[in-house]
Amino acid sequence: MKTRAEKDSLGVRQIPDSVYYGIQTDRAVENFPISGLRAHPRFIDAFLYVKRAAALANLKAGELPKPLADALMRACDEILEGALRDQFPVDVFQMGAGTAFNMNVNEVLANRANEILGSAKGSYSPVHPNDHANMGQSTNDVYPTACRIALLFILKEYLHGPLEALEKALFAKAKEFDRILKSARTHLQDAVPIRLGQEFSAYGEAIKKSSAALLEAEKSLYELGIGGSAVGTGLNTAHGYREAVIKELSRLTGLALLPANDMREAMQSQRPLAQVSATLRNLCLEITRIVNDLRLLASGPTTGLAEINLPAMAPGSSIMPGKVNPSILEMMNMSAFHMIGSDTTVALAVQAGQLELNVMMPVMAFNLNFSTMVLGNSIKILCEKCISGITANEERCRYYAETSIGLATALNATLGYAKAAEVTKEALASKKTIIQIIREKKILSEDQIKKGMDPVKMTEPGIPGMGKD
């Protein structure tokens, strides 16, 4: 294998001449053979947008010669279009702050820029990975900037659409099931009647509010600390550089990005990532609750509640013939649990910042990018392969509603709580319905039963009016 010699502050290494990364990347690959996981493609995109914007800003400031700036920007464009995507081998679990990945990008850009300018890879002349590809920058401001932009990309690409579709699907089922009467349950015990559509409407509302909370949390990601360089003071940045970088980043990404009010705060605190992560966790808590409800409502088909029917997607057992499981819902549970676990990692990483820098950014970026993609893909499948195909077992639902001891609640206004409780106890002991006991004991007339014991009327606000016999 043909190699080239490269030198850094620790010494000289032989680097395969076919690769575009250099000595610091090679050290990182050797030092961190941890997971085999690589940066998310959108994270690579975000990094390249930052590098391209920085090259243009330094060109405008008169600090970066035009031939070098043009070559660096062309290299960025080529990679954004799909070239050299295999040249970023640094593991996501790497040295703190993400220095290894930043230098990986700098080396690839410098080597490709030099190639464009007619120089050999590894010569780092005229374009140097530190002096030119990293001009006016530090890992400490580039990495968190790329983190925020990448997460905005991923949220938009993977999560927003599926969340909107899930909300619409739940509300559509609410409308479809609006007239289906069933028994509500509290403490997993019989309660007053409710309509199946009302349950699904509540699910839709929960997703709607969770989506709104996520959009609100995302606003904090638009504020960037780029231009702060090493510790947020802006050392080694040209006049006007910071403003030019953010303006160009906004143009390149289509995002309305803003400069942080305090660059030190933007470097010390990764609260925006924690805020979005916590909101995603809360979304997953709601999704898990809803999914668990659906699994319970679909339990059976002969020994469970069996109030709804889920689409059959695959045989459910390797030993029990004909068994069909709630497989899509189970998958959704696991994805939600994964996101909740990722949030714990992000929370611990965010609080681990010390003085002028939080060095735990690589694990924040990986967990948020990967888990958000998984969550969005899972919700998409949940909506397409489960929610949209749910049907109701109307007869089963109505049977539970009409035999529930929760019907006795309607007697409170007429008989009082104590007397209604006696009716309930007798119904349970005799295995009869509330209506049967009322008739046998002649507690109410048929007209009163018709007026005050209609389960459908109990699903809306009001006091049952039974009138006088």
Q: At CA 107, angle to CA 106 and CA 112, rounded to 5?
A: 105
End-to-end CA distance of the chain: 101
Nearest to 427, CA basis, from 456, 448, 400, 404:
404
> Exposed, middle or buried: residue 422 (CB in 10 Å: 0-12, 13-18, 19+)?
middle
Which DSSP symbol is given to 89?
Answer: -
Contacts 24+ apart (CB under 8 A), 235-244: 236/136, 237/136, 238/57, 238/58, 238/61, 238/62, 238/63, 238/136, 239/61, 240/57, 240/60, 240/61, 241/54, 241/57, 241/58, 241/61, 241/63, 241/136, 242/57, 244/53, 244/56, 244/57, 244/60, 244/61
Q: How many CB atoms lie within 10 A of CB 398?
A: 18
Tell me if 188 sits within 8 A of 165, measured CB to CB: no
Crossing angle of helices 271-297 and 361-385, rounded to 10°:
30
Q: At CA 6, angle to CA 4 and CA 12, rounded to 5?
A: 115
What Rg do the C-alpha atoms of the chain give, in angstroms? 31
d(C-alpha 116, C-alpha 136), whole Å? 23
Report the amino acid identity of residue 100: A
Alpha-helical segments (H) within 196-270: 196-218, 241-253, 263-268
The catalytic residue positions are: 317
d(C-alpha 147, C-alpha 389), whole Å? 37
Report the amino acid identity of residue 117: L
Backbone angles phi, psi at 8, to 5 degrees: -130, -170
Q: Report the Cα 248 to chain-centroid distance in Å.
A: 28
Helix, strand, coil share (%) of the chain residues, nearest 5: 60, 10, 30
Structure tokens at 100: 């290894």
Structure tokens at 35: 């997971």
